[in-house]
Amino acid sequence: MGERADGVKGGRDGVGSGALEREISGIRNELGALVGELDRRRRDLFDVGGQVRRHPVAASLAGLAVAAVLGGSIALLVHNTRRKQRASYRAKQLRIAFGRMMEHPERVARGEAPPGEKILAAVGTAIATLLVKQAFARAVPASQVAQAAQARNGRTQARA
């Protein structure tokens, strides 16, 4: 009785519990100030208007780059669409297709899929279905699913 565990004394290096409480309180205040500063910096970082005001040249260059990429992509899509509609392009593609057909006639028109492929496709579909069901069950609590089912049943019975 009245004994303490080995190595445990009245306080840390002779420091009382009041001093420990003050030290913990000071650390907690410093940590709160650091978290507040991090939060302020996060808000500043994601403030788009503020970033544009602080860095107008970089924002202008970024806007020009986005516009150039979008404009170039649209121009390339239009160019390719027009090119593919030309008779010369279609004739070239037909010549290439006939060449492939002559080299590998077995690849031209394949019949029904072999049984192994059918089995593999069925197993893959079953696994994918199970994974989606499990993901749905984890994402939506069971109570919500039960409420939705009850609501559907109530509507079905009301119609009958």
Q: What is the pLDDT of residues 53-70, one digit of tens each?
A: 999 999 999 999 999 999
Give CA separation, 119 vs 21, 66, 84, 99, 115, in Å: 69, 47, 39, 33, 6
Looking at residue 135, its pLDDT comes to: 87
The span from the CA of 154 to the CA of 97, in Å, is: 59
The span from the CA of 15 to the CA of 18, in Å, is: 8
Q: What share of the chain is helix, strand, coil (3-state, %, to 5)?
A: 80, 0, 20
Angle at 60 between CA 37 and CA 54, to 5 degrees: 30
How large is the average pLDDT for residues 86-111? 87
Give the three-state DSSP class for 86: coil
Looking at residue 13, its pLDDT comes to: 57
